[in-house]
């Protein structure tokens, strides 16, 4: 029997890309799912598909991770979370530092950093009370290797790395595990969103390489989550073969 069978898994940003792929893989492993994102209709059709294929319970909720009060209220209603996959995240364009608007900066920081913290804050007391649980943060290679026109996005992902490591220290005397998975180039909606919908620019990033897909990262998440309780994979960097 899979170690993930019957676990309650909360995935933020489950309406597309890596989060959606994680939902499919945890469902395959027999986990019950709490799926969160702003696009509720996408979550609903995913729920229908997964519940028809697997003997699991899927709960969906429309959630903007930037709104702390809503995060708290939604998660109180859903009880114990065994595994949290903090995946919701975005880039608003890729601009030179002097061209970044305050609005774009706020959106990235509020979603990628504050949102991740809000969700973790809502889930962690329950994990501490039960002395078990696993927080898996989706960071990025961008948190380790900053690139031009990516200053704020890279900074948010560097923040995710620091938050992950700090939380690991804060839970070191508990059975709670804390992990970070850092993808390289993954082809998802994010690929086009980051160039404000310019598909040609998005495609040019993948010249000379085969990008990862959501399943590649979801398989990594499943591997990390599925280790025995005494094993914590602190960090993983996952690249397409031709990215360095």
Of 2-10, 75-83, 93-101, 182-190, the window that binds ligand NDP (rule: CB under 6 A) is: 182-190
- Secondary structure class of 202 (helix, strand, coil): helix
* 106 lies in the site for ligand NDP, by CB under 6 A: no
Q: Given the structure tokens 């180039």, which residue do they identify?
A: 185
240 binds ligand NDP (CB under 6 A): no
Question: Is 153 considered catalytic here?
Answer: yes
Does the footprint of ligand NDP cover residue 88 (CB under 6 A)?
yes
- Answer for which of 60, 140, 164, 220 binds ligand NDP (CB under 6 A) is 140
Please say if 147 is a catalytic residue.
no
Pick 57 or 70: Cβ nearer ligand NDP: 70
183 touches ligand NDP by CB under 6 A: yes
Nearest Cα neighbor of 36 from 3, 67, 4 is: 67
Cα 132 to Cα 218: distance, rounded to the nearest angstrom: 22
135: which 2 tokens?
């927080």
The 28-67 contact track toward ligand NDP, x by CB under 6 A, reads ---------xxx-----------------------xxxx-
Candidates 157, 199, 201, 206; catalytic one: 157
Beta-sheet strand order (sheet of 58-62): 58-62, 32-37, 8-12, 83-86, 133-138, 176-183, 235-238
- Is residue 193 within 8 A of residue 199, CB to CB? The reply is no
What is the rounded CA–CA span in Å between residue 160 and residue 130?
Answer: 25
Mask: binding to ligand NDP, 150-169, rule CB under 6 A, as x and -? --------------------
C-beta neighbour count of 146 within 10 angstroms:
13
Beta bridge partners, 127, equal none
Q: Which of 237, 244, 184 is nearest to 211 (CA)?
A: 184
Distance CA 144, CA 164 (A): 13
Percentage helix, strand, coil for the chain under 3-state DSSP, each rounded to 5: 45, 15, 35
Binding residue (CB under 6 A) for ligand NDP from 22, 100, 108, 138: 138
Closest contact distance (angstroms) between CB of 138 and ligand NDP is 5
Number of residues in contact with ligand NDP under rule CB under 6 A: 30
Q: Rounded to the nearest whole angstrom, what is the least distance from the CB of residue 5 to ligand NDP in the complex?
A: 25
CB 67, CB 88: distance < 8 Å: no
Taking the least distance from each CB to ligand NDP, the nearer of 128 and 222 is: 222
Catalytic residues: 153, 157
Chain residues in the site for ligand NDP (CB under 6 A):
12-13, 15-19, 37-39, 63-66, 87-90, 111, 115, 138, 140, 183, 185-186, 188-191, 193
């Amino acid at each position: 029997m899979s170690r993930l069978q019957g676990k309650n898994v909360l995935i933020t940003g489950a309406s597309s890309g890596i989060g959606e792929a994680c939902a499919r893989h945890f469902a395959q492993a027999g986990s019950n799912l709490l799926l969160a994102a702003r696009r509720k209709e996408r979550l609903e059709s995913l729920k229908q598909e997964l519940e028809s294929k697997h003997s699991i319970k899927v709960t969906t909720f429309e959630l903007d991770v930037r709104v702390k009060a809503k995060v708290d209220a939604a998660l109180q209603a859903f009880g114990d979370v065994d595994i949290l996959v903090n995946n919701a995240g975005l880039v608003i364009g890729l601009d030179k530092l002097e061209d970044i608007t305050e609005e774009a900066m706020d959106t990235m920081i509020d979603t990628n950093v504050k949102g991740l913290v809000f969700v973790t804050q809502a889930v962690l007391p329950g994990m501490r009370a039960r002395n078990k649980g696993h927080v898996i943060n989706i960071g990025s290679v961008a948190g380790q290797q900053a690139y031009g026109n990516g200053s704020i996005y890279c900074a948010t992902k560097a923040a995710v790395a620091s938050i992950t490591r700090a939380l690991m220290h804060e839970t070191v005397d508990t059975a709670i595990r804390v992990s970070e998975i850092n993808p390289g180039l993954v082809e998802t909606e994010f690929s086009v969103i980051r160039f404000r919908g310019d598909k040609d620019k998005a495609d040019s990033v993948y010249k000379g390489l085969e990008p990862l897909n959501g399943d590649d990262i979801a398989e990594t998440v499943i591997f990390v989550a599925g280790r025995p309780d005494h094993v914590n994979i602190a960090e993983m960097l996952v690249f397409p073969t031709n990215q360095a």
